[in-house]
């Protein structure tokens, strides 16, 4: 009964809990790992500047648009808005290959165009001129590098806003004894700045999607119980690997399907609410079990006539039946208190 009422209350607050087994895991969580873009930040990226190399800005944006035209990444939408505002004409891509957590490759107008992270460009050995490398190192923005036929063509700098509820959530987690951690594929300088602004001491930057799962496994190997909060298709594996996966409904479908709890209202304030409500539901279940056990342990012997040899007292069947019904009613009433719970 408590599970049904509690899940109903969770739904009314914009939280979907997948199954009752989640309630057993929530109180044990002591580490919560967050994705950055779209989770701790708004996910509404804006292009703050572009730095073409050798080619003109319109040529740079045309190539970048060819690469990002069909991508669903938040960076891509920012690029499309920026380029359309400047009436940039671009070649439609003939083929597209997405490299999760790293970037994208397309064939457009007979050219091979790649857009992605600086770490990926280093991995696939796209040479970046020393002068550009210095600019990239100094920048605290998120950067999207561009190459044409293996030749570096520049980068776009993008910025995002921290969710207004993020700082409050971090404080609430600390009060609950949960250590917040950031794991992001973004540049170290950008992740470090966000962590410092939120008071988060542990963070991982410039990591690929599969490394998020490795980070979770390392914490679990140390005896930690780990929750992961994310919204992108790159987060699905991490959500499955964690002891508790929490996804934002505004994110990718695959992330939502891999999660244990889905926050329907899009923001992350519901993370602390979900943890608190799950704990309250579990406590209510324990109260019901203890009450039912104690009640039955006391009255069943009476109904069986334990007092008859001593004082000749017998409980009539109708009284015993009423007492049994009263036990069930008390459990229902206690469970119904969850409807009015305030978080």
43 vs 35 pLDDT, higher one: 35
Asked if residue 94 is part of any domain, the answer here is: yes
Which residues contact residue 66 at a Cβ distance below 8 angstroms, ignoring those fewer than 6 apart?
90, 91, 92, 93, 106, 108, 109, 113
Shared domain check, 239 and 172? yes
pLDDT of 301 reads 66
Average per-residue pLDDT for the chain: 85
Asked about 260 being catalytic, the answer comes back as no
Specify which residues 41 forms β-bridges with. 162
Asked if residue 213 is part of any domain, the answer here is: yes
Shared domain check, 121 and 194? no
pLDDT of 179 reads 96
Shared domain check, 151 and 202? no
Asked if residue 124 is part of any domain, the answer here is: yes
Last residue of a domain, one of 254, 269, 284: 269
Taking 60 as the threshold, does the pLDDT of residue 343 lie above it? no
**Quick one: tokens of 194?**
């966000």
Taking 90 as the threshold, does the pLDDT of residue 315 lie above it? no
Shared domain check, 260 and 208? yes
pLDDT of 313 reads 65
Tell me, what CATH number does 189's domain have? 3.40.50.1000
Asked if residue 100 is part of any domain, the answer here is: yes
pLDDT of 216 reads 97
Asked if residue 65 is part of any domain, the answer here is: yes
Q: How many domains does the chain have?
A: 2
pLDDT average, residue stretch 202-214: 92
Shared domain check, 181 and 145? no
pLDDT average, residue stretch 292-306: 68
Last residue of a domain, one of 232, 252, 269: 269
Catalytic, out of 35, 235, 243, 260: 35
Asked if residue 101 is part of any domain, the answer here is: yes
204 vs 291 pLDDT, higher one: 204
Asked if residue 127 is part of any domain, the answer here is: yes
Last residue of a domain, one of 95, 128, 159: 159
In this structure, the strands spanning 31-34 and 46-52 are unpaired
Q: Which residues form the domain of 264?
A: 28-42+168-269
Shared domain check, 148 and 51? yes
Asked if residue 3 is part of any domain, the answer here is: no
């Amino acid at each position: 009964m408590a599970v049904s009422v509690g899940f109903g209350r969770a739904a009314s607050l914009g939280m979907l809990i997948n199954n009752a087994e989640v309630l057993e895991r929530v109180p044990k969580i002591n580490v919560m790992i967050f994705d950055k873009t779209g989770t701790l930040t708004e996910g509404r990226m804006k292009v703050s500047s572009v730095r073409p190399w050798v080619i003109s800005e319109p040529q740079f944006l045309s190539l970048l648009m060819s690469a990002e035209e069909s991508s669903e990444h938040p960076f891509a939408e920012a690029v499309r808005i920026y380029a359309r505002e400047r009436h940039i004409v671009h070649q439609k891509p003939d083929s597209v290959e997405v490299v999760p957590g790293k970037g994208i490759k397309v064939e457009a107008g007979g050219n091979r165009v790649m857009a992605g992270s600086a770490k990926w460009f280093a991995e696939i050995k796209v040479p970046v001129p020393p002068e550009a490398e210095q600019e990239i190192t100094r920048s605290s923005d998120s950067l999207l590098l561009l190459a044409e036929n293996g030749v570096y063509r520049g980068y776009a700098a993008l910025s995002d806003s921290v969710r207004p509820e993020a700082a409050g959530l971090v404080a609430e987690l600390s009060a609950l004894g949960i250590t917040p951690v950031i794991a992001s594929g973004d540049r170290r300088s950008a992740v470090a700045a966000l962590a410092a602004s939120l008071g988060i001491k542990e963070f991982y930057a410039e990591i690929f999607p599969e490394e998020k799962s490795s980070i979770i496994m390392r914490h679990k190997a140390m005896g930690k119980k780990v929750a992961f909060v994310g919204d992108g298709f790159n987060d699905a594996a991490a959500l499955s690997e964690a002891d508790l996966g929490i996804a934002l409904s505004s994110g990718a479908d695959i992330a939502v399907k891999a999660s244990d709890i889905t926050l329907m209202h899009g923001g992350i304030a519901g993370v602390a609410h979900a943890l608190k409500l799950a704990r309250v539901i579990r406590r209510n279940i324990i109260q019901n079990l203890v009450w039912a056990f104690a009640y039955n342990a006391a009255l069943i012997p009476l109904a069986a006539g334990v007092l008859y040899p001593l004082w000749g007292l017998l409980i009539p069947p109708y009284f015993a039946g009423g007492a049994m019904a009263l036990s069930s009613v008390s459990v229902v009433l206690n469970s119904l208190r969850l409807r009015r719970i305030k978080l």
